[in-house]
Amino acid sequence: MKQKIILPAETTTGDWKPILPNKEAGFTLSPDGASKSDPKKFEVGKFKFHGLFENRTQERISQRELGLVQMSMRQPGREEWIAVRLWDFTSISFGVQFLPPQSIQDPAGFQRPEAGSPTEPADERDRLELGSLPADSGKVQVQCGDQVEIRIRITHHAEFQIWCEVKNTVAWKDGVKIGLRRLDIAFPQSVNKERRENFRLPVAPALALNARLSHPFLFGQWSLMQVSDVNHSMGLSFDCRDPSILVFEDMELDIHFELPNLRQVAMSARVAWVHATEANHVKFGVACLDMPWALHNGICDFLLFSRHWTPLRLREAGFRARRVKNRLRFRTVKNMGDYAEVLYLRRDAYVGAGKKSADTKPEEMAGSLDGCSRILMAHHHNDLVGSLTFTFPPTEDTVLDSQAGFPGKKYPVALPPKANLIEVSRLCIHGEYRNTDLLQGLFEHGIKHFLMSDRHWLLTSAVEGLLPAYLRIGFVRLKASYRHPGLNHQEHHLILAHRNTFLWGQGMNLMVWNTLFSDVIAYMLDRKLIEVNGLERAIIRSKLLLRPVSRLFVERRAQSAFQAHLKSLRESFRHRPGKETVPEAEMLPTPLRAPSTPESPRDSSD
C-alpha cells in the first residue's frame, strides 16, 4: 500500500523562514557501521551526512541557500498554494520539504514578537493559526504517483509553474520530504512533428560548437553544453549532460559560446522546448531574441567552414551568411581534372538557370577559346563553388565569345585592338553561394591577373538585369547588343572598362572603389606587382585613406539590416501558436540534403 502523507492547506506562501542545519548533529557513519578509515567506503560513497534520508545530490550548494528559493506547491483542482522548502534538485527532478509552521526555526539573532502583538507580521500569525487547524479542515493528501503543480521563482522577474509527479515521500523530523519528477521534460515521449520546425541542420559532435550557461542558483557555476542542431529562424538546440542545469519553457537565457575572442559575448534567447532523453541528460531548444553582430559572424564562420555547411543553408536557418571570400581558396586551372570540374559547374549553373536543357552534357560546355584563357577557380574545401574565364585573344582574327552573336561575327562598333584587351566570360557561381561576397572575390582575383598583364581593356557583355551593377563598378556601355545563340537567345549588351577604372577608380564612385578593389590594389602596391607613375601612386594613396570610412559604412549598413532581421524574428516568435504541455522528443538527425541547383551565371557574357 502506498504511503499517504497529510499536509495542512495554506492560502498563501507568505514570508517563511528556512530551517537552519542542526549544529549539534555532526558527521556520522552510515547505518552499516562502516569504519571511517575504510577507503573502499569512500569510493562507493557509503559515508554520508547524518541520517539516512538527508543525503543530497547538490552538495555544492548549502541547504540554507536552497531554502531561500521561493517555492510552493498545490494539487489539481485546488487554489491554495502550500509553501515548501527546496531541499535538492537535478535537471529533471526536485526534492522539497514541507514543515509545519511551528517547526520553522528562526535565524540566529532573530527575536520573534509576542503572539498577537502589533509588531507581529500578519502572515506569521496566519501561519501559526494554520498549524492548529482541526483535523477535518481542508487537509491535502499526497501520495506516490500523484501529480502536483510547482511554482518556483528563479529571480525577481522570472517565476515558472510546472507539473511534477510525486515519486517518493519520506517522513522527516516534524515534516515530510517529497521527491518530484518534472513532467514538462518527462521521458519517454512521442514525436510530435508539429511541435518543432521541420527544417533542421544537425551539427556533427566532432565539430564541437560548445556553449555555456550561467546557473541560476550555483554561484560561479557554468553548465557546459553543445549545439546539436540549428533550427529555423536562428533557433538552436542544445545537448547538456550537467545534472544540475535548470531550464524551463519561456525562460530567458544568456548563452555564451566557446569561440575565440567571443567568449564574453552573449546571445539572448528564450527557451522554446525542453525534454530529457535519459536521466541527467537534457536537450532544449531556444529562439534567438538578440545576438551581437560580431557573435553572429563568428557562429557563421564556424559553421560555414566545417565541410558540411553552405551560405544557403545558413540563410534558410535565419542567419545572414554573406562573408565567405576570405575563407575560400582561389587558383587557376592547371590540368584536365580541374577543367573537368569547371565544365560540370558550368553545366549545372546553365541548366539551373534554364539556359540549357537538362540533357546537356558537361563536355558540351567547353569553350572554343578555353585553351588560350586563364580560368579562375574558387574552392570551398574541396568543392568548386565558382569560376570565371579570362580570354587572351592571340590574334585579330580570333572570334571572341561575345563576337559570335553579332551578324557576320563582327562587332558593329569600334573596339581596341584584340592584342590589347581581355574578354571576361562564363562566370558561374554555385547556387548555395549566391548573394555572398564570392562574386567580389572572383573579381578581385581576376582584376589582379588583369593588372599584372600588359593589356589595358576589359571586355564583356551583360543582360539587362545585371547591366546597372556593371555600370556602377566602372564599365561603359557600348551601343551594341546581341542575342546569345547558346543562351536561349537572351539579349546581351556589350560593355568595356579601362585598367585605370580598377587601378585608381577612374569613373567610379570613391566609396564603391574602396569597398570592392582597394584591398587588392593596396596588396599589389605593397608587393610591387604593378608599376605606376608618381601621379597614379599619389592618387591611389590618397583614395586609400578613405578605406576605413568605407569599411565602417558597409559594416554599419550590414548591422542595421541584421537588427531589422532580429526584430522580425522576435515578432514572429511573439505571435507563434500556443505551445503544448509536453514538448516533443528529439528527432533523429536527418542526413544533409544534396546541394541545390547552382546559381545562374552572373556574368553578362553567359
Put the strands of the sheet holding 329-332 in their side by side order. 329-332, 373-380, 383-391, 421-429, 457-463, 491-498, 476-483
Contact between 466 and 386 (Cβ < 8 Å): no
- The Cα 39–Cα 46 span in angstroms is 10
- Residues paired with residue 178 on neighbouring β-strands, in sequence order: 96, 169
More confident residue, 148 or 41: 148
Taking residues 371-395, report their average pLDDT.
Answer: 93
More confident residue, 328 or 574: 328
Q: Return the minimum-mean-pLDDT range out of 37-41, 60-64, 146-150.
A: 37-41
C-alpha cell at 57: 545530490
DSSP assignment string, 80-145: --EE-EEEEE-SSEEEEEE--GGGPPPPTT--PPPTT-TTS-HHHHHHHHHHT--TTSSEEEEETT
Q: What share of the chain is helix, strand, coil (3-state, %, to 5)?
A: 30, 25, 45
3-state secondary structure of 526: helix
Please say whether the structural domain 325-510 has been given the CATH code 3.20.20.70: no
pLDDT value at residue 221 = 85
Distances (CA, A) of 329 to 305, 348, 380, 384, 441: 12, 21, 7, 9, 10
**pLDDT band for position 364 (cuts 50, 70, 90):** confident
Q: Return the minimum-mean-pLDDT range out of 47-51, 83-87, 326-330, 449-453.
A: 47-51
Tell me, which fold does domain 4-21+62-178 have in CATH? Thrombin, subunit H (2.40.10)
- Residues paired with residue 443 on neighbouring β-strands, in sequence order: none
Whether 468 shows a pLDDT value over 60: the answer reads yes
Instruction: Tell me the per-residue pLDDT of 549-598, one tens digit each, with 9 for 90 and over.
Output: 999 999 999 999 999 999 888 887 665 554 433 333 333 233 333 333 33
Kindly report the three-state secondary structure assignment for every residue of 247-308: CCCCCEEEEEECCCCCCCCEEEEEEEEEEEEECCEEEEEEEEEECCHHHHHHHHHHHHCCCC
Q: What CATH number does the domain located at 200-316 have? A: 2.40.10.220
- The Cα 573–Cα 559 span in angstroms is 21
pLDDT value at residue 204 = 61
Taking residues 466-488, report their average pLDDT.
Answer: 87
| Number of Cβ atoms within 10 Å of the Cβ of 112 | 13
- The Cα 424–Cα 370 span in angstroms is 11
Taking residues 375-404, report their average pLDDT.
Answer: 92
Taking residues 505-513, report their average pLDDT.
Answer: 92
Element (H, E) at 551: helix 547-574
The phi-psi region of residue 475 (left if phi > 0; otherwise alpha if psi is between -120 and 50; otherwise beta) is: beta
Contact between 20 and 107 (Cβ < 8 Å): yes
Whether 40 shows a pLDDT value over 70: the answer reads no
- The Cα 249–Cα 378 span in angstroms is 44
Domains 4-21+62-178 and 200-316 share a fold: yes
pLDDT value at residue 58 = 64
Q: Return the minimum-mean-pLDDT range out of 32-46, 452-466, 561-575.
A: 32-46
Which of 60-69, 180-189, 419-428 has the highest mean predicted lDDT (pLDDT)? 419-428
The residues, any chain, with a CB within 8 Å of residue 42's CB and separated by 6 or more, are: none
Query: What are the boundaries of each domain within the chain?
Result: 4-21+62-178, 200-316, 325-510
Give pTM, 2 decimals: 0.73
3-state secondary structure of 145: coil
Taking residues 159-182, report their average pLDDT.
Answer: 87
C-alpha cell at 84: 515548501
